Amino acid sequence: MARQRELQVILTTHSPYVLEEVPPEARVCIMQSPEGDREVVYGVSPEFAMTKMDFVQHSECDLYVEDHAARTMLGEILITANPDLVTRCQIIPFGAASVGRALGEMVKVERFPRASRVFLDGDQAPADGCTVLPGDDAPERVVFDALSTLGWNGIAGRCGREYAHVADACEKAMAVPDHHQWATQAASKLFLTTENLWQPMCAEWAKQCLATSEAQAIAQVVEDPLAGLSPPPAQALTVTAAVAVPADPPPANPSSTLAPSEPEQLF
DSSP states of 128-143 as a string?
TTEEEPTTSS-HHHHH
- 201 and 176, same domain (yes or no): yes
For residue 30, the domain's CATH number is: 3.40.50
- What is the three-class DSSP state of 257? coil
pLDDT score recorded for residue 40: 79
In the structure, what pLDDT confidence band is assigned to residue 110 with cuts at 50, 70 and 90? Answer: confident
* Residues 130 and 160 grouped into a single domain: no
> In this predicted structure, what is the pLDDT of residue 259?
40
Indicate if 37 and 74 belong to the same structural domain. yes
Give dist(CA 146, CA 60) in Å, integer.
33
The residues near 199 (Cβ < 8 Å, ≥ 6 apart) are: 72, 76
Number of domains in the chain: 2
Same domain, 186 and 258: yes
Q: Amino acid identity of 229?
A: L
Q: Provide CB contacts within 8 A for 221, sequence distance 6+.
A: 117, 131, 232
What average pLDDT does the chain have?
A: 82
Q: Which residues contact 4 (CB under 8 A, 6 or more apart)?
A: none
Query: What is the domain range of residue 9?
Result: 2-134+210-236
Burial of 186 (0-12, 13-18, 19+ CB in 10 A): buried
More confident residue, 221 or 262: 221
- Output the pLDDT for position 120: 96
Q: Do residues 44 and 95 lie in contact, with contact meaning Cβ atoms separated by under 8 Å?
A: yes
Indicate whether 62 and 146 sit together in one domain. Answer: no
pLDDT at 39: 75
Distance in angstroms (rounded) separating the CA atoms of residues 130 and 36: 23
Which class for 87: exposed (0-12), middle (13-18), buried (19 or more C-beta within 10 A)? Answer: exposed
Average pLDDT over residues 109-137: 92
Q: Is the pLDDT of residue 46 over 80?
A: no
Residues whose CB is less than 8 angstroms from the CB of residue 57 and which lie 6 or more positions away in sequence, other chains included: 114
DSSP state of 246: P
Burial class (CB in 10 A: 0-12, 13-18, 19+), 145: middle
Would you place residue 3 in the very low, low, confident or very high pLDDT band (cuts 50, 70, 90)?
confident
pLDDT in tens, 59-92: 788 999 999 999 999 999 999 999 989 988 999 9
* Same-domain status, 91 and 204: no
pLDDT tens-digit series, residues 214-251: 999 999 999 998 887 655 555 555 444 444 445 455 55
Question: What is the band of 34 on the pLDDT scale with cuts at 50, 70, 90?
Answer: low
Q: What angle do CA 114, 115, 116 make, to 5 degrees?
A: 110
Q: Are residues 130 and 106 in the same domain?
A: yes
Q: Which residue has the higher pLDDT, 255 or 86?
A: 86
The pLDDT value given to residue 22: 78
Q: Are residues 68 and 153 in the same domain?
A: no
Asked if residue 91 and residue 220 are part of one domain, the reply reads: yes
**Res. 160: pLDDT tops 80:** yes
Examine the domain organization and report whether 147 and 29 are in the same domain.
no
Q: What pLDDT sits at residue 260?
A: 43
The answer on pLDDT for 145 being more than 90 is: yes
> Within this chain, do residues 91 and 192 fall inside the same structural domain, yes or no?
no
Beta bridge partners of 138: none
Which pLDDT score is estimated for 19? 76
**Average pLDDT of span 121-127:** 94
**Mean pLDDT across 134-154:** 96
- Of 25-29, 120-124, 182-186, the poorest mean pLDDT is in 25-29
Query: What letter does residue 263 receive in the DSSP assignment?
Result: G
Residues 118 and 232 in one domain: yes
